[in-house]
Structure 1
Amino acid sequence: MNYRRTGHAKYATLVSLALALTLTACTPSSPEPGGAPTERPAASPQEVLAETVAEVDVPVADAAPVAPTPAAEPAPLVIPEPAVVPVVAQPVSEAPAPAPTVTVEPAPAVTAPPTEPVVTPITPLEPSTPHVSPNYPEIGTYTFPDGHISFEVPTGWGMQAEVPVVAPGDDYPYDDHFAIAHIFDENGHNVVDITSGGVGGVVAGPVNRTILDSQKLSSFDSRDGASYFAVFRDDYPFEPAETRYFVGLVPETLMTEGPDSTSAASFLIMGNGATTAHVNIDPFMTQEAAEAWMQSGQYSKLKGLLTSLRYAQ
């Protein structure tokens, strides 16, 4: 027969042993015969434990079924939660936004009126030769030294004559009676140059001409016919195209308009050589500037001066 020591049997045995030890310690030992009573020393716990104790075994077949002690459930495994480290948001320095692109519109072109050339005022002088008109300069008439051509100087303006000195043997393209008259306005600007007694010629090219103003001279015909005061706007067929203005005296052959014209130059073949008379202007001025200037008092005086040219004899 198989026996199985149960937990309850073990526990009952231990309790019985403990109770027996307690009673033994409290009960006096019986005296041995013929002698003094002998006390049995109390057994030490080690001795009690060393004694063979009959365990109460209960046959497995006869033992009452003992409910198995439920196994202790393991303590739940506590996993510590990870420490929460506070995240401090550091401000992130953002790259500065690019400056907005500003499109600068080019300033509109401003066409400034042409500035007049700055000329140091020159005090009017007597002609450089002794031959002058008898009433010069009281009535403003000037006659060239050879006595061939005269003109009127506007009131308040001045004139200076120049007679180039030609040394013997010099190759000089003028006759010996050649002279230049420089006319100055009230501000001292050299506005007109008139020559007399010249030689040579000019070269012309094709232009598209517009005549802005003109007047025929009453007593100053050249070899080629009548002479004219004229204001031209000539468009030159260059690459790129170019526009030039001209103001002066021209022969009748240049008084044409349109693309079949030839470039302007003041060159009048007279009885005593060639004569030229032109106004010193900016030839590249704008049309607006030209139109405004032609309304000025200066233009009126210039036109009166040039249309006054005539033969003195």
Structure 2
Amino acid sequence: MAYNNSTQSNGAPSSIRKINNMVILVQILIIIFLYLNGLLLTTFFKKEVFRSSMRYIFFAYTLMSDCLYLMVTDVLLLFSYNRIVMQIWLCLLFLIIGTAYNFVFPLTLTLMTLERYVAICMPMQHGALCTQRNALHCILIINAISLLPISISLSIYWASVPFSRYTEDLVCGVEMLIIHRWQSHYWSAITQLYFVIMLVIVMFCYVQILKAARKASGETKKSSGKGLRTVLLHGFQLLLCLTRLWCPLVEAAVMQMDLRLFVDLRYANYVVFTLAPRCLSSLVYGLRDHKLFVNLKYYAVFGLACQPPVLTD
């Protein structure tokens, strides 16, 4: 992919200059995001009250999976931008992690929404259903469901490409998995299926929590209202990250028309549909949740400015 380093006649910076600035911005945002996630994970692992709660277990899992996903996709993005090649077998490993964890995030958000529904609309069953053991089982199920689409694509790739090519070098991208034209339709169908199922679940939970909020009073009404806002934020995150599932299809089409526009579009999609919804997770639970927030302040200054908070169930 060749880029023109010259400036435009009116003195404005060229496309490569704008892209360089965007690269720097993305790296700064990722560093901030990883630092904040590190603080939140430190809080989670140091406090038993968090490790025994399903919603905090789900939240911690989103943080860990997001960190892994962002590091892998950032490496691929930088390699793609700088036209750095890698062997196909290594590229496939990166794509397995990146594609699978692209599905993990919205699926975990959906489970977190279901947990809020059970807590508000089925409080008597919450203690029995939302246990630490069930949370771990749900995480295993999430990973299995997330690996299914990429497993099918890899099976098609392995059946279509001779093993002798696995040591060849290329610029790694998800587009390499599309060997046949109909595979684009397969990815479109699977993403739309996931989208519809998760959207229906989130909307059902929202409606049920809204009904509970209208009927509640006092502290119960306050808790329901907070749960309702949380579900709304989850719904917005879900919309952003599910839109991300369609981005590779759009990017592949744009790449055939304009390589420069393709690079711009890929970085813009990465910021809006990858970084933004994952940053919102830290805001939804890290800053809005009092228990996490007081601990976050303590660990952010390395325990120098205040006494360690004491939390109870």
Settle same-fold status: TM greater than 0.5. no
Bigger fraction of residues in strand: 1
Q: Which has the higher contact order (CA 8 A, sep 6+)?
A: 2
Bigger fraction of residues in helix: 2
Q: TM-score, normalised by structure 1?
A: 0.19
Q: TM-score, normalised by structure 2?
A: 0.19
